[in-house]
């Protein structure tokens, strides 16, 4: 049955997928946020999740465990994916909405054998306190409504991310924008000032402004 609950940052709903026995769509204030199949954690329903999954697949040889820091948790789709594709990985997940994390833990529990620590905290504050060189990959998927919070878009934030990554580590972010892509262009310039290599991955139709 669907589940509806007021969480810290809106009204969350868990909606079952009638085509997949233990799959759920998470929405917050009506906006789709996460999709999880408890029986098949490698199934990534959303386009952006598949793109981030591709990055996670390519940063190290197949099956090699990684230390991953996720800023933004939702229903923990990508942490579940990493746990399934790279057993032995250690992952920290940081999300400011503690009510949402409680809802997910209650109805979409993590497998017992995964090394995933979930923290209710502000992403920037957590990043500032994280040790130097403590992550192989940092995944940023944080939204306030339809926007990335401003304090996660600055050059100072990019430098904190670079500090926390090990040499050769990767930063992967989900960004939302539309033509003419002013926000996207500013983010590429900001991270280009800190990282030697920056790649943009998107559907061609998105980049054409469709």
| pLDDT tens readout for residues 48-100 | 999 999 999 999 999 999 999 999 999 999 999 999 999 999 999 999 999 99
In a domain, 164, yes or no: yes
Task: Please report the pLDDT score of residue 210 as a whole number.
Answer: 82
Q: What is the CATH number of the domain that holds 145?
A: 3.40.50.150
In a domain, 33, yes or no: no
How far is it, in rounded angstroms, from Cα 196 to Cα 79?
A: 26
Q: Measure CA of the first residue to CA of the last residue in the chain; give whole Å.
A: 35
In a domain, 9, yes or no: no
In a domain, 106, yes or no: yes
- Could you tell me where the DSSP H helices lie in 36-167? 47-58, 77-85, 98-107, 123-129, 155-164
In a domain, 73, yes or no: yes
**8 burial level (CB within 10 Å; 0-12, 13-18, 19+):** middle
**15, 2 in Cβ contact below 8 A?**
yes
In a domain, 11, yes or no: no
How far is it, in rounded angstroms, from Cα 61 to Cα 57?
A: 8
Q: Which residues of 54-77 are buried (b: 16+ CB within 10 A; e: fewer)?
A: ebbeebbeeeeebbbbbbbbbbbb
Task: Please report the pLDDT score of residue 35 as a whole number.
Answer: 98
Low-confidence stretches of the chain (pLDDT < 70) are 145-146
The structural domain count of the chain equals 1
Task: Please report the pLDDT score of residue 145 as a whole number.
Answer: 66
In a domain, 2, yes or no: no
Domain interval for residue 125: 41-207
How far is it, in rounded angstroms, from Cα 9 to Cα 72?
A: 13
In a domain, 21, yes or no: no
Task: Please report the pLDDT score of residue 207 as a whole number.
Answer: 87
pTM for this predicted structure: 0.95
Cα torsion angle, 126, 170, 176, 22, sign: negative
Q: Which of 176, 164, 110 is nearest to 137 (CA)?
A: 164
């Amino acid at each position: 049955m669907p589940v509806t609950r007021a969480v810290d940052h809106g009204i969350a709903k868990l909606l079952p997928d009638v085509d997949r026995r233990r799959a759920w769509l998470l929405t917050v204030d009506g906006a789709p946020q996460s999709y999880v199949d408890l029986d098949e954690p490698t199934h990534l329903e959303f386009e952006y999740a598949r793109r981030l999954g591709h990055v996670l697949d390519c940063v190290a040889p197949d099956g090699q465990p990684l230390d991953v820091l996720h800023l933004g948790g939702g229903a923990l789709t990508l942490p579940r994916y990493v746990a399934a594709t790279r057993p032995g990985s250690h992952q920290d997940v940081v999300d400011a909405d503690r009510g949402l994390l409680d809802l997910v833990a209650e109805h979409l529990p993590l497998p017992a054998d995964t090394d995933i620590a979930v923290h209710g905290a502000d992403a920037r504050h957590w990043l500032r306190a994280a040790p130097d060189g403590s992550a192989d990959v940092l995944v940023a998927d944080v939204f306030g409504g339809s926007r990335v919070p401003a304090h996660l878009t600055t050059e100072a934030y990019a430098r904190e991310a670079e500090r926390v990554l090990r040499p050769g580590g990767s930063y992967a972010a989900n960004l939302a924008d539309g033509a003419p892509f002013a926000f996207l262009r500013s983010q590429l310039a900001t991270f280009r000032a800190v990282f030697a290599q920056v790649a943009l991955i998107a559907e061609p139709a998105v980049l054409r402004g469709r």
